[in-house]
Amino acid sequence: MDTVALIAVAVFLFTYALIIDERIHRAVAAMLGGAIVVFVGIVPWDALLHHIDFGTIFLLLGMMIIVNTARGSGLFEYIAIRTAKLAKGSPIKVLVLFAAVTAIVSAFLDNVTTVLLLTPMLLYIARVMNLNPVPFLVTEIFASNIGGAATLIGDPPNIMIASSAGLTFNEFLIHLGPIMVIDMVILIGLMYAIYGRSMKVNPSERQEMIRVLEGLDERAAIVDRSLFNKSVAVIAFVVLLFFVHDRIGEILHIVLPFVDPAMGLEPAEVALIGAAILLFWSRQSPEEIFEKVEWPALFFFGGLFVIVGALVETGVISSIAAIMIENVDSTGEAMFIVTWFAAIASAIVDNIPLTAAMIPLIHDLGSTMDIYPLWWSLALGACLGGNGTAIGASANVVVIGIAEREGIGITFIDFLKVGMLVLFLTVAVGFGILWLKFVV
């Protein structure tokens, strides 16, 4: 390893140590690390713009604007009260209900969008029911990453893998969908084992919760009916666009013949379009809305993308990946290595550059073995590996950032203790199913 690569690794480890230590905010730590690799020339300006995933950052920004604008209407309080009443005051039912909804929605929308929409509701329910919100928030994070792994459009690594390997939406549903259903059952059981005792309430407390909930009028939670209706309309429009964003040209071409049928919209464009429409339509003060944006989370992502970009520029990630799969003799052996390397590495670095580095290496193995099972191994590991640490996936950072703004602390170490358990259990079960399907 040359000197430049050693510096890139040292900066990465230094930044990670600052994030774990938590005496310096993780956004500042990431910005400092990014500044160092830019200052010493490891990541030049033209490469800097390439390595920062503006698609992720603008998707987050757009959805944050939508959520913060809609919040002023009482929309999330309305949905939260309805959900709590449906759960009949049972904290366990609330956890299971939100975990299932989070996973299902994350399978068909970006999981970051999902948690941005659902987290305010969870926090309100926890406040109303006088519950510790941490178990609900971490379960939401895990469920979003598991649900996102189930489909082609649920998580960026799946999109990258499908594009390179020519895999279809139905293939993802067939090979990964059932695994994620099983993993969700495991997750709920595990969360109950870890947090169930702290969420149990005696009959008198349960009756008190039900009495409090019955005393809440969800309709009274709507403080601005006009903004409520506009928010619902725009969010529904944005969700619809997320489903058809890659085929929007075909749809528009029917009405507007001059539109290129091959045109598509990126998820980030959809979020920003929705944000612009809601701000214009609602006439809300942009200064107030922009003040509520989770800017530390956005700058954290920007800095982290630059630091990981330094590892890409110096060839560190591709070299490690190449070492991991060299001298592999069989598809089964390659599946094991690809799955667990992707899972553990994705808990440490962003899974997008990791997936980008792994894809050509798997293609190279095509001359010596059947690589079709390896694509599912890579998707499994890259998506579920994000559950391992507090910075392992975008959804993790977003939820923890929102919690911090509400005065709820989830430390790196506390998340690590539960996250690594979830990672190893869900990946092990998923790998076992893939092994039975493709090797045995």
Helix axes 412-438, 134-148, angle to 10 degrees: 30
| pLDDT greater than 80 at residue 185 | yes
Long-range contacts (CB closer than 8 Å, 24 or more residues apart) made by 201-205:
201/89, 201/90, 201/91
The pLDDT tens digits of the residues spanning 71-128 come to: 888 887 887 778 777 877 788 888 998 899 889 888 876 677 788 888 888 888 888 7
| Average pLDDT of the residues of the chain | 87
The pLDDT tens digits of the residues spanning 264-284 come to: 888 788 889 999 999 999 999
pLDDT, position 416: 94
pLDDT, position 204: 73
The pLDDT tens digits of the residues spanning 149-173 come to: 998 777 878 878 887 888 887 888 8
The pLDDT tens digits of the residues spanning 341-363 come to: 999 998 987 777 778 778 878 88
pLDDT, position 198: 79
Q: Which of 40-44, 132-136, 151-155, 429-433 has the lowest mean pLDDT?
A: 151-155
Selection from 292-296, 374-378, 389-393 with the highest mean pLDDT: 374-378
- Residue keyed to tokens 């690799």: 37
d(CA 157, CA 153): 9
Higher pLDDT, residue 191 or 63: 191
pTM: 0.77
pLDDT, position 383: 93
| pLDDT greater than 90 at residue 335 | yes
pLDDT, position 378: 95
Q: Is 1 helix (H, G, I), strand (E, B) or coil?
A: coil
Residue 5 gets the label, from left (phi > 0), alpha (psi -120 to 50) or beta, of alpha
Long-range contacts (CB closer than 8 Å, 24 or more residues apart) made by 207-212:
207/89, 209/89, 209/129, 209/130, 210/88, 210/89, 212/128, 212/129
The pLDDT tens digits of the residues spanning 378-431 come to: 999 999 999 999 888 888 988 998 898 888 989 989 999 999 999 999 999 999
pLDDT, position 118: 84
Higher pLDDT, residue 242 or 408: 408
| pLDDT greater than 80 at residue 327 | no
pLDDT, position 437: 93
**Terminal alpha carbon distance of the chain:** 39
pLDDT, position 146: 96
Burial, 399: exposed, middle or buried (Cβ in 10 Å; 0-12, 13-18, 19+)?
buried
pLDDT, position 125: 82
Higher pLDDT, residue 405 or 202: 405
Residue 125 is encoded by which pair of tokens? 């329910």
Mean local confidence (pLDDT), 35-53: 89
Mean local confidence (pLDDT), 317-324: 77
Mean local confidence (pLDDT), 360-369: 80
Burial, 196: exposed, middle or buried (Cβ in 10 Å; 0-12, 13-18, 19+)?
middle
Instruction: Give the confidence band of 1 by pLDDT, cuts at 50, 70, 90.
Output: low
